[in-house]
Every structure is written in structure tokens, then in C-alpha cells.
């Protein structure tokens, strides 16, 4: 295999489509799907590719720093596409702490593991952090957000995602970790 790519949250609705695309489009890449398999994750979404030789699934919670470090050490990934997140606004209102752990602590665990494993060779490595447009606040009946729109989170969910965005930028700036944020 040429490269190894981690996709977190790869059993979710969007993540499973990303995993399938990468497994199919890059047969020479090892694609490792890391998912906790909460209510939002379903491996049935990936039945059509689960036997492909370039696909692996690892059940793991990104909040578990030791497990994440072990996976980075085992696979030595060249890239991370970070989709795993708690993302339901209503649930963030009833249990904000879960969102803080997953969206902030989980992201930091991934960043630290990438930083450790890539410390001597970050060239051609990449950490893609997938965010949400909700970090920009509420949109009226018309208009649009751009990546220049100021952050204005309005729920524990969007505040946790905004925090993780800022951490990714800080790791990129402070540690020169090759990290990129994409707001969907």
C-alpha cells in the first residue's frame, strides 16, 4: 500500500460515503475507518466494501487518547480525515459535556497523536478537519457564510466545533502540523 489514511466517523452517514469513495478511488491506499459506533454509526452502510483488501475498521472512541495513540503507532497514517463529532444541536443542549469531550478532547487526541507520529517527517502528511457552517451562527432567510465570516457559535455543539477549529489552526501554527479545516 502506498499510503495509509485514517477516516474518523467513517460509519456515519457522511463518513461512510467518504470511506467508500476513498476505498474505491484509491485501491493502493490503506483506508482505516475509526468509529465509536454510537447511534450515528452503522457498519451496514459499508457492507459493499467491508471485504476490500485496502479497508480496515477499528472500533475506537477518539476521546480515548491511549487507544488513538496505539492506532497511530500501529498504522502510521499519512493522513487523517477527521469527521467524527457529536453533531445534533438538540442533544448538545441536553448534554453539552459529551460534545466537549468528543469534539474538543477527541480532536486534541488526534492532533497530538499525529504530531507525535509525524514529528520527524510531516512532509506529505495532512490532517483534514471537517467542521460545520454552524460555527458562524444563525443565517437569516437569505445570505451565505464564507470562511471569512466571523465565528459566532450559538449552541454547545457549534461552540465545541468552533473550539476544535481553533485548536486545529493553533496546532498548524504552533507545531507546524500540516492541518486544514473545511467547513461544510
The residue from 134, 136, 165, 171 that is catalytic is 134
pLDDT value of position 89: 66
Q: What cell numbers appear for 166 in the block?
A: 481553533
Domain ranges of the chain: 3-183
Q: What is the mean pLDDT of each run of 10 residues along the chain (184 residues)?
A: 95 96 98 94 95 98 98 98 84 85 97 95 93 84 84 89 96 93 76
Whole-model pTM: value is: 0.94
Question: Which fold would CATH assign to domain 3-183?
Answer: Rossmann fold (3.40.50)
Is position 98 annotated as part of the catalytic site?
A: no
User: What is residue 181's predicted lDDT score, i.e. its pLDDT?
Assistant: 84
Residue 154 grid coordinates: 450559538
Q: Is 142 a catalytic residue?
A: no
User: Which residue is catalytic, options 29, 55, 128, 157?
Assistant: 157
Catalytic pick among 50, 70, 98, 133: 133
The Cα–Cα gap between 122 and 128 comes to 14
Alpha-carbon distance of 122 to 134, in angstroms, equals 31
Report yes or no: 158 and 132 within 8 Å, Cβ to Cβ: yes
Amino acid at each position: 500500500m502506498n499510503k495509509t489514511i485514517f477516516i474518523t466517523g467513517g460509519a456515519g452517514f457522511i463518513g461512510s460515503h467518504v470511506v467508500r469513495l476513498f476505498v474505491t478511488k484509491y485501491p493502493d491506499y490503506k483506508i482505516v475507518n475509526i468509529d465509536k459506533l454510537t447511534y450515528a454509526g452503522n457498519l451496514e452502510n459499508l457492507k459493499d466494501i467491508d471485504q476490500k483488501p485496502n479497508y480496515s475498521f477499528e472500533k475506537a472512541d477518539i476521546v480515548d487518547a491511549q487507544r488513538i495513540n496505539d492506532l497511530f503507532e500501529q498504522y502510521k497514517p499519512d493522513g487523517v480525515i477527521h469527521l467524527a463529532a457529536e453533531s445534533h444541536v438538540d442533544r448538545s443542549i441536553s448534554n453539552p459535556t459529551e460534545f466537549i469531550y468528543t469534539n474538543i478532547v477527541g480532536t486534541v487526541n488526534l492532533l497530538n497523536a499525529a504530531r507525535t507520529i509525524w514529528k520527524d517527517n510531516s512532509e506529505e502528511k495532512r490532517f483534514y478537519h471537517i467542521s460545520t457552517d454552524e460555527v458562524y451562527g444563525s443565517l437569516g432567510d437569505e445570505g451565505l457564510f464564507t470562511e471569512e465570516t466571523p465565528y459566532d457559535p450559538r449552541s454547545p455543539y457549534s461552540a465545541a466545533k468552533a473550539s476544535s477549529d481553533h485548536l486545529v489552526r493553533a496546532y498548524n501554527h504552533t507545531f507546524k502540523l500540516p492541518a486544514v479545516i473545511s467547513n461544510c
